[in-house]
Amino acid sequence: MAKEYDVVILGGGTGGYVAAIRASQLGLKTAVVEKGKLGGTCLHAGCIPSKALLRSAEVYAQTKNGEAFGVIADGVRLDFAKVQARKAAIVEQLHKGVQHLMKKGKIDVYAGTGRLLGPSIFSPLPGTVSVEMNDGSENEMLVPKFVVIATGSRPRTLPGLEPDGEFVMTSDEALQMETLPSSILIVGGGVIGMEWASMLNDFGVDVTVLEYADRILPTEDEDVSKEMEKLLRRRGVNIVAGAKVLPETLEKGNGVTIQAEHQGERKTFTADKMLVSVGRQANIEGIGLENTEIVVEKGYIQTNEFGQTKESHIYAIGDVIGGLQLAHVAAHEGIVAIEHLAGHNPAPIDYTMVPRCIYTRPEAAAVGLTEQEAKAKGYDVKVGKFPFKAIGKALVFGEAEGFVKLIADRNTDDLLGVHMVGPHVTDLISEAGLARVLDAAPWEVAHAIHPHPTLSEAMAEAALAVDGKAIHF
């Protein structure tokens, strides 16, 4: 029997479940269809498990290197099974939390694979959702007024470098490793690749990163790439930028061997395992898009600024629409889409206000334009940069590497971008995000009194440095 809803959400990842909660808050009768686990990639194969492993790696590295703090720990060992168990426990706790939120919001959750049907006896519009239930029970037929597609993404692979269950992995398989390799080749020096490089290096794995672009983290400010490369190299990570990996040369057996073109030469790289981190691909297959007028371009569903597709009653949010593939973006897109379909006239997302975080050691974070982008857009920029080595709290932490860099428009004093490398900068970046949302000028950021001793003083000092007025450097 068909069941009627105001909104049916296809996919219960960060975008989907947040959209469902907002819909329920607005009094809409809501269902989520999820074929895997509520929480999606972020909770089960992304943000949370990777950060749990990163934290264990940091604790391990710091304990081993405690002498500088006067802490001598002999015989420090790694119990990787416990590391994985801790990760799993955190994920499960949060998974239960999301399940509870669905119950609290009286949101119906269908455990199965959803697919959009065309116009049918149930509705003259495409968008009836047929659900093939995971438990093999009869298909459910959901007839919504609105649909939100939030089916997310999966790791992209390179032809010839597909995961094989033994030597070649994507982040999905790497998160499930039961033992650590002694060495690894990471193909791709973007955010995910560099987080794995930092983590595995801290776990004591011999890491080589092969990046096609001429620098790691190629979409970030050049100073961020340079600093990160310098600091990770210092820790022993082998970074080879400008390397074109040749998948046809892959040999497996006793580990992996592959060739790459680098600086006009063919070079050979060998390791126990390979991690391929070359981006993500939208889950657009098998969801019935062919039964709709929805437009797909370059593999991503096309929407307007409220998430509305060519079918005005069908929205799409999160990784499946491309752009910044981040959990907080998916969640915000979900809220905007629901408020829009409910007639609440939400403000569309300004993507230049979205913080981007990289959870390496040290961390990196940014919001707004890079210096290169600002110049390319024709801004006459002024830059304030302040190093963490002049911040007392960073020295106390024993993590005094990196900087905060502010980029402002010389003519208007607008804050165009903020870039950080250093301790806890993924938390510090929120202040920069707020400053941009409130349209604060650098002097206003500095005018807000920052407590001493804190890492946040680097933000105030960098804001002063924009006009040559930094106090401590």
Q: Is 41 in the site for ligand FAD (CB under 6 A)?
A: yes
Q: Choose which of 287, 301, 342, 425 interacts with ligand FAD (CB under 6 A).
A: 287
Q: Choose which of 5, 30, 31, 50 interacts with ligand FAD (CB under 6 A).
A: 50
Whether 452 is catalytic = yes
> How far does the chain reach from its first CA to its final CA, in angstroms?
71
Distance CA 269, CA 209 (A): 10
The one-letter code for the residue type at 458 is A
- The CB-of-253 to ligand FAD minimum distance in angstroms stands at 28
Q: What is the DSSP string of 367-428?
A: EE--HHHHHHTT--EEEEEEEGGG-HHHHHHT----EEEEEEETTT--EEEEEEEETTHHHH
Cβ-based neighbours of 408, under 8 Å, separated by 6 or more: 381, 382, 383, 384, 414, 415, 416, 441, 442, 466
Q: Is 387 in the site for ligand FAD (CB under 6 A)?
A: no
Q: Choose which of 14, 303, 360, 370 interacts with ligand FAD (CB under 6 A).
A: 14
Q: What angle do CA 381, 387, 392 make, to 5 degrees?
A: 140
Distance CA 69, CA 72 (A): 8
Choices 11-19, 20-28, 256-264, 337-345 (CB under 6 A): range interacting with ligand FAD:
11-19
Q: Is 87 in the site for ligand FAD (CB under 6 A)?
A: no
Distance CA 311, CA 119 (A): 12
Choices 33-41, 83-91, 214-222, 293-301 (CB under 6 A): range interacting with ligand FAD:
33-41
Q: Structure tokens of 429? A: 């970046």
Distance CA 231, CA 362 (A): 8
- Phi-psi region for residue 378, left (φ > 0), alpha (ψ -120 to 50) or beta? left
Q: Choose which of 13, 144, 188, 417 interacts with ligand FAD (CB under 6 A).
A: 13
Query: x/- site string to ligand FAD, residues 340 to 359, per CB under 6 A?
Result: -------------------x
Q: Is 128 in the site for ligand FAD (CB under 6 A)?
A: no
Q: Choose which of 56, 198, 283, 292 interacts with ligand FAD (CB under 6 A).
A: 283
- The CB-of-313 to ligand FAD minimum distance in angstroms stands at 18
Distance CA 268, CA 197 (A): 19
Q: Is 11 in the site for ligand FAD (CB under 6 A)?
A: yes
Q: Is 181 in the site for ligand FAD (CB under 6 A)?
A: no
Query: x/- site string to ligand FAD, residues 147 to 166, per CB under 6 A?
Result: ---xxxx-------------
Q: Which is nearer to ligand FAD, 329 or 465 (CB)?
A: 329
Q: Is 186 in the site for ligand FAD (CB under 6 A)?
A: no
Q: Which is nearer to ligand FAD, 277 or 370 (CB)?
A: 277
- The CB-of-101 to ligand FAD minimum distance in angstroms stands at 15
Q: Of residues 100, 344, 452, 472, which has the active-site annotation?
A: 452
Tell me, what DSSP letter sits at residue 21?
A: H
Q: Which is nearer to ligand FAD, 153 or 201 (CB)?
A: 153
- The CB-of-356 to ligand FAD minimum distance in angstroms stands at 9
Q: Structure tokens of 30? A: 């809501």
Instruction: Kindly state the number of chain residues that form the binding site for ligand FAD, as judged by CB under 6 A.
Output: 37
Q: Where are the beta strands (DSSP E) in 108-218?
A: 108-116, 129-133, 140-149, 153-155, 168-169, 183-187, 206-211
Q: Structure tokens of 423? A: 């301790």
- The footprint of ligand FAD on residues 309-338 (CB under 6 A) is 318-320, 325-328, 330
Q: What is the DSSP string of 68-128?
A: GGT---TT----HHHHHHHHHHHHHHHHHHHHHHHHHTT-EEEEEEEEE--S-SS-SSS--
Q: How many residues does the chain have?
A: 473
Q: Choose which of 16, 144, 368, 442 interacts with ligand FAD (CB under 6 A).
A: 16
Residues that bind ligand FAD (CB under 6 A): 10-16, 33-36, 40-42, 45-47, 50, 113-114, 150-153, 171, 192, 283, 287, 318-320, 325-328, 330, 359
* Catalytic residue IDs: 452
